[in-house]
Amino acid sequence: MKKTARDSQKEGRIVNVSSIGYIAAYREGICFDKINDRTSYVNYRAYGQSKLANILHANELTRRFKEEGVQITANSLHPGVITTNILRHLGLVGGIFNWLSNYVNKSIPQGASTTCYVALHPQVKGVSGEFFADSNIAKTSEVAKDADLAKKLWDFSFKATMSNPTSLSS
């Protein structure tokens, strides 16, 4: 992407689909020391942590692209609540929520609209390191803006993927 952006003189865009569910992450944000610890696993916290990681990743990409002078933006977004099977393991609660969701959730095209907006709309040209919801820049918590946490996540992920991938097993 960097080479293409430089050669074409056109902006590249990276869009990380996250969720407002990032607010359910563990108190410390990312539990690096417990990434695969099954004894401390809490499903909604782990979901929140993964969505927070998507936001932090976009923010760290933004920092790196600006530092390198590359014409690529990186943003994250909340597509909205869309009827999916994400709650399939919650039994009756999941069933009730899915039934109710038919009346209140976004349709798939409505859910895709913010992604398309961030990826393609001219008004987003040059905008980077932001979190979007309903095709607008939305506020995030301080932990989602934490540059040190974003860098730590980047370094942790790099080490995990570039070294022995079994080193994270517990």
Residues carrying an active site annotation: 41
Amino acid residing at 102: N
Rg (CA), the chain: 18
> Are the beta carbons of 61 and 74 closer than 8 angstroms?
yes
Distance CA 68, CA 160 (A): 24
Rounded to 5°, the CA angle 96-109-85 comes to: 30
Residue type, 87: L
What one-character-per-residue DSSP string does 3-23 give?
Answer: HHHHHH---EEEEEE--GGGG
